[in-house]
Amino acid sequence: MSHKTNKFHKILSSPLIYSTFQKLMKGDKIRKKILKLNVKKINPKILDIGCGLGDSLEYIENPIYFGYDISKTYIEYAKKNIKKKVFFFVEILVKKKLKDYLNLIIFF
């Protein structure tokens, strides 16, 4: 998917810089708090739109997780670095009703 970016977005396209920026802006702590308060199920089925580097996974216990992001760089980074079993393609959900398949859709 093609999208327009400005200089700020180009800088953040590096996974290392993006991750550092998230920590500096406390995005990781906010994400953790929201997920800990709202994800009570074990093995939740989650679609994470804008999954970035997939770091939300560290706060969710045994998810069935589908991550989607427009950044191919972020997806490739997540595929290489996430140790949990996750899926980064959501095309299979198009034929199913999302409400029948997922417990939670997150969008940070």
Give the integer Cα–Cα distance in Å for 29 and 10.
24
Per-residue pLDDT 10s for the chain (108 aa) are: 455 567 877 788 888 888 888 888 888 888 889 888 888 888 888 888 888 898 888 888 888 888 888 888 888 888 888 877 676 655 455 555 666 667 777 776
The full set of domain ranges for the chain reads 7-107
Match 């709202």 to its residue by tokens: 38
pLDDT of residue 1: 46
Fold of 7-107: Rossmann fold (3.40.50)
Entry pTM: 0.68
Give the integer Cα–Cα distance in Å for 69 and 72.
7
| Bridge partners, residue 46, by sequence | 65, 104
pLDDT of residue 94: 52
The tokens of 38 are what?
Answer: 């709202």
